[in-house]
Structure 1
């Protein structure tokens, strides 16, 4: 019988397929309802919590898990417009929650469009600094933990190749402008044609001159049709900036524009008039007075940050110190920000790299040692404290030349600030300690010189010349406050005077140069030259090797800040062959003077009377010794070698420590009054001699007892050793030994003698005592004869061959 026919068509759907279909349909229904809620959203309404917003389930769960419930002002007004796909210009005070105001719309818009990894890059978030980009990425990870999107962090300081391998699969990128442009130019896997959102945090900083070319290049890679959101505490409204980003009818959301101040109301702001040379002293005094606080100190340059950190670290104020600037490696910067965030009491010295967006919890003070470049920078700096309606305090150090202009700028920005005074009895000076450290540590001195130059350059390049007036700053005193022996010479300090001299006529420049160099004599020669006609040949013959050395070589400075004197003694009209200084003596010492390195008044007077020109010298004062004269390059090298400086220093003192750990010199002089109180010197000497005599007698008795015990022990050991040898010999005579024959005498050079030497035990110094049994008369006679032959053989000395033969014949007989 044939088997039944089985149909080859499709059977009934499995349960797994039906579940998948239902799930897909349910998801589509949720997306359609969510899109309908967003369409019906009222833009004029101001929701109070995230539950009032039409958010997807993964976003709502991520916000609840991260403990975000209520909305801030900027979030309630900006998220509604962003969910509808409009361009946003968001401006709010620092610490008002701008990060969530753009992260929530980014997640929601991509979720409603069902974005997957195959769709490529969907959102690009730009931040001006690496630290801010890392912070935004961490918040994105917390809020978007239940989404299926892939997110990446693209910042400098990491491996470019590793980032290139993963960028093609990323949906959301948080990046800095420079590194992102590098990937857009070099990474082939990165496609931006389908990108939906562009976000710029701290947009005014990104659109500033520092990132202008970079941002323009990034925008050229992005599609024109996209949603763009800009957020900052000080928002830009320039038409040129908005046109560059192709913003289409942006919504300007400024929640605090009508507020009385541009800073949080819980922030107490003060300023103090502090001269430039006193800023480090005031800063040190403040840190010492606030050891239980968390402080951020802002300086204008990275070199200043490093110098202040290193110098204060050596002084040990009693609180953890950290520093953050743009020249550090990425790993170190991340460790410092994490460590400072977790610290309860610490001080962070930082540049403006930490001024924007960084959320350090529980910062008590913000100290601005250097004046900010504008009011916007001031607002961002003080925004590191008083965040999320907490209490904070800020202090600004202003030089007297900066007070009027800076207060005017802050008043225009609605920044309320009050003046405070510093108590003189609370202020401590560290100028002498810094000078001592710079003298001992050349590296710290080098850092101080670089810090001085970087500060002066930062003042010179500022645009607001009403606030930053370089000529009114006391730079010599400022260099002294850094511990430097003199202000380093900076080429651009002359400023406009150099341009005026360059554009003036040759005759006026010649007149001014002669007046500056020679004074009245130069003016007379200039008047004399006016009446004469000078041709170019005259000037050519007057020139005497003026340009042999390069121009920058004549501007070198010594370690103490003085100029290097190079060929400055020749006038132009003098003949080169007739120079009196052609052969000159650098130093001159008196004959027989061994102390060549120290100041000698007689040698100085002799050199002055002899007419030799004296070179500028530097005098170094050593501890407890005569000053050391540094008048040559060899002596300058001497200062760098501690070993060579030892011969110019005094002998060291040896210290001993008592039981309590206090240090004392090995030989200390007793107080005279205490010595006299114990009696006359002769009486004390007699008493001391008597005590030492008695102490010596007791020590001798103890030494004798120890020696007696040692002798007794040694005697007992010797008796025990002799007793053991005697028992061994007695055993041999009884036949219990090893059975070797008794040899009454030894012949020198024979084999029996060598065997006896190797096998016989080492004889003792005393004569061995034998307890053998008595032998017969013949044996005794032969033993006596052999002993007598030994004595006879031992007496003559063997000098010739005849003596040896005589000895042999005697032994044989």
Structure 2
């Protein structure tokens, strides 16, 4: 009975289990077909209130319910039906309106209906402008997609590239930043996107601007054009060029706030404070001290300002936790800061625009913009960190008097209501003296302050909207003093602008007369622009000319005259040597006439000319005569570079079989060329000959490559055989195997014998071949080994290990 039971267990699965799997598979196919029918019958314009009203799969519905997502926001109810039908979407909605779920739900649903597996490759690619926003999207995807079988990955900078490369090929959904995913597309061989179904761009206007334009263009070139593309942002781009770059096909524009009277949430209270630039830190400190039980984000224009304000306020100890976030931090630190700030009840976060887009910090009470945003869109994204999901929030914008008119005009154009508020004088505190004291004691803080000052001025300088940002109207000296700096740091780019203005100004305004002097009191000359002085002018104005080399005094001008060098003994009255006055050193090209040599009637040289003629040498350079009449010309002969101008242009030559030199390209005789036939026929014949020659060369190259491959293979085999032979020899040497001399005339082979001590100690080797025993003709049994034939032969003593073995050996030898 036990054997029958075991035999019955060895058979396949029970019929009931197999039937259950078949029914489950059939039920899944029926659910997919019914789901597809419901989506085709779905009316995109119909109003949908909850996720249960949408035709969604069971895993997605369960994930949404487990994450406590029940009702739809405006952007979700209007965009998700279009996305489920596979249409391209341009989604624009206010900050905090739930745009993340608007594209994550269609991503899961479309891949689920297509029964996507890891063998199908990458199905959806989601691009985010910042790492923090990408992490946030990935966390939401993990929550609502927990019951799906898809594999999802987060690809951002600051992590190990090799670890990402190993897992990238198995991902179905990727949430990434543009720079990192482009690096994988270019470098990771196992990463293929030929089967991509969906491309999503969150904060699309930021991704499509100049900062990411090249990266996005390069990414799109890798992607297939037949895909679904969705763009979402609070300030959506509608430029035709941007949409054409992404290959959108009849996109559906879903804008929630177009009919609204404001571009920001109605629950957001927006104010601005008119604060001169030197007083901004005092007002900020007073605000923080007055709101210790609040959660605040303070936006600044650069990372260096964030570091300085954070470090200085941290030393001042306002009584509330302080944090800072900027792009120069490492990825782990940025993630820790965002997590801590999200969990904190009361804290102040100093941040750049890295935190301005998409990040969902819970329960933010205040958004302070210490520095004016570059445009109205940036303002909308900054204030969007508060008043999310119809909660209350407050925002304050600090404006310099020079920025007020232009910024209010831009905000009015974007339908942003903002009111002016005043600061209570009795609650305002000044930290200027404390900052000066800290910068005096701490050089590192002073250095941070200098960098913060320069970065702020540069951020104003590079802004495009000059109607708002007017650098010359800012009180930079007072601002540097408010940071605790002893003086204004040097700014190179502003000095460059002043130089440009001076160059472009008229000469009458920049150059004043040198004769303007005050004759009454002998005052200094009027301010004027000095003439341009070269480095040679400064060199020859030095007093210690005698320490220079001799060749400085022998320099000649372009007109052939010697440079006028000052003399230490010169008293200004012309007391130098009369022979040196108006001395000319000439350049001679060729000919006696050019040499200035006078000849007599009998062609003999006269006076000093005869002595000069003796020193003149003539050098022939490529048919040109170069006259060497000075030491400088003699040195010229040793410089190949300087002799090039006296030589002709070089020609590249080739040599024929006879060794005659020819130029690389030589014109053929026209008559001979025409005699050979029509030019088009000659061209066709030449192309055919060259094609055949190339084909034959290709055949020879392939044959040579195959032969090299065969030779390499043979060498490798020979090397392996040698290694095997060496191993066999080493094994035999280890066993002490010796070849015994021929003794028995009955056998024609050599017997293998070994010392008995070695054979007794070593274990028997397993033989690969069967051992063959040679038979003795006088023996009746052929299967008996040689060792068993000589039974009467005396056995050899065993190995000597103890004293008893030695005594036995001695008694045997004695008889």
1:374 aligns with 2:375: yes
Unmatched segments (≥5 aa) in structure 2: 1-10, 517-521, 546-563, 571-815
SS at 2:212 equivalent: helix
Measure, in 2, the Cα distance between the counterparts of 1:508 and 1:421.
46
Q: In the alignment, which residue of structure 1 is the partner of 2:15?
A: 14
Query: Where does 1:470-509 land on structure 2 (aligned, <5 Å)?
Result: 470-494=471-495, 496-503=497-504
Measure, in 1, the Cα distance between the counterparts of 2:19 and 2:440.
83
CA RMSD of aligned residues (A): 2.9
1:466 aligns with 2:463: no
Whether the 8 Å contact between 1:116 and 1:171 is mirrored in structure 2 is yes
1:425-468 C-alpha deviation (Å, 9 max, x unpaired): 11000000000000000000000000000000000000000000
Q: In the alignment, which residue of structure 1 is the partner of 2:410?
A: 409
- Check 1:214–1:541 CA distance in 2 against 1; reply closer, same or farther (3 A cut): closer
- Check 1:520–1:98 CA distance in 2 against 1; reply closer, same or farther (3 A cut): farther
Whether the 8 Å contact between 2:94 and 2:234 is mirrored in structure 1 is yes
Q: In the alignment, which residue of structure 2 is the partner of 1:101?
A: 102
* TM-aligned CA deviation for residue 502 of structure 1: 3.3
Whether the 8 Å contact between 2:128 and 2:178 is mirrored in structure 1 is yes
Measure, in 2, the Cα distance between the counterparts of 1:574 and 1:264.
78
Whether the 8 Å contact between 1:544 and 1:576 is mirrored in structure 2 is no
- Check 1:545–1:482 CA distance in 2 against 1; reply closer, same or farther (3 A cut): farther
Whether the 8 Å contact between 1:47 and 1:71 is mirrored in structure 2 is yes
1:447 aligns with 2:444: no
Measure, in 1, the Cα distance between the counterparts of 2:190 and 2:539.
70
Unmatched segments (≥5 aa) in structure 1: 1-9, 549-572, 580-813
* TM-aligned CA deviation for residue 25 of structure 1: 0.9
Whether the 8 Å contact between 2:512 and 2:528 is mirrored in structure 1 is no
Measure, in 1, the Cα distance between the counterparts of 2:14 and 2:288.
75
* TM-aligned CA deviation for residue 492 of structure 1: 1.2
* TM-aligned CA deviation for residue 150 of structure 1: 0.2
Measure, in 2, the Cα distance between the counterparts of 1:94 and 1:66.
21
Whether the 8 Å contact between 1:382 and 1:394 is mirrored in structure 2 is yes
* TM-aligned CA deviation for residue 545 of structure 1: 6.2
Measure, in 2, the Cα distance between the counterparts of 1:574 and 1:451.
49
Measure, in 2, the Cα distance between the counterparts of 1:11 and 1:539.
100
1:74 aligns with 2:75: yes
Q: In the alignment, which residue of structure 2 is the partner of 1:544?
A: 541
SS at 2:90 equivalent: strand
Q: In the alignment, which residue of structure 2 is the partner of 1:216?
A: 217
Aligned residues: 537
Measure, in 2, the Cα distance between the counterparts of 1:369 and 1:280.
8
Measure, in 1, the Cα distance between the counterparts of 2:366 and 2:184.
39
Measure, in 2, the Cα distance between the counterparts of 1:545 and 1:495.
29
Measure, in 2, the Cα distance between the counterparts of 1:116 and 1:541.
77
* TM-aligned CA deviation for residue 500 of structure 1: 3.1
SS at 1:209 equivalent: coil
Whether the 8 Å contact between 1:298 and 1:352 is mirrored in structure 2 is yes
* TM-aligned CA deviation for residue 522 of structure 1: 4.2
* TM-aligned CA deviation for residue 245 of structure 1: 0.4
- Check 1:158–1:505 CA distance in 2 against 1; reply closer, same or farther (3 A cut): same
1:66-123 C-alpha deviation (Å, 9 max, x unpaired): 0000000000000000000000000000000000000000000000000000000000
- Check 1:274–1:16 CA distance in 2 against 1; reply closer, same or farther (3 A cut): same
Whether the 8 Å contact between 2:311 and 2:445 is mirrored in structure 1 is yes
* TM-aligned CA deviation for residue 21 of structure 1: 1.5
- Check 1:574–1:404 CA distance in 2 against 1; reply closer, same or farther (3 A cut): farther
Whether the 8 Å contact between 2:323 and 2:350 is mirrored in structure 1 is yes
Q: Given the two structures, how large is their TM-score scaled by the length of structure 1?
A: 0.63
Q: In the alignment, which residue of structure 2 is the partner of 1:178?
A: 179
* TM-aligned CA deviation for residue 14 of structure 1: 2.9
* TM-aligned CA deviation for residue 482 of structure 1: 0.3
Measure, in 1, the Cα distance between the counterparts of 2:15 and 2:500.
89
Q: In the alignment, which residue of structure 2 is the partner of 1:55?
A: 56
Whether the 8 Å contact between 2:196 and 2:227 is mirrored in structure 1 is yes
1:193-247 C-alpha deviation (Å, 9 max, x unpaired): 0000000000000001000001100100100110000000000001110000000
Structure 1 segments, 4+ long, off by >4 Å, are 10-13, 503-515, 519-526, 534-543, 573-579
Q: In the alignment, which residue of structure 1 is the partner of 2:28?
A: 27
* TM-aligned CA deviation for residue 520 of structure 1: 8.2
Query: Where does 1:149-298 land on structure 2 (aligned, <5 Å)?
Result: 149-298=150-299
1:426 aligns with 2:427: yes
Whether the 8 Å contact between 2:322 and 2:349 is mirrored in structure 1 is yes
Q: In the alignment, which residue of structure 2 is the partner of 1:311?
A: 312
* TM-aligned CA deviation for residue 24 of structure 1: 1.1
Q: In the alignment, which residue of structure 2 is the partner of 1:731?
A: none
Measure, in 2, the Cα distance between the counterparts of 1:578 and 1:460.
54
Measure, in 2, the Cα distance between the counterparts of 1:389 and 1:122.
34
* TM-aligned CA deviation for residue 15 of structure 1: 2.7
* TM-aligned CA deviation for residue 511 of structure 1: 4.3
- Check 1:574–1:392 CA distance in 2 against 1; reply closer, same or farther (3 A cut): farther
Q: Given the two structures, how large is their TM-score scaled by the length of structure 2?
A: 0.63
- Check 1:578–1:376 CA distance in 2 against 1; reply closer, same or farther (3 A cut): farther
Measure, in 2, the Cα distance between the counterparts of 1:118 and 1:34.
24
1:36 aligns with 2:33: no
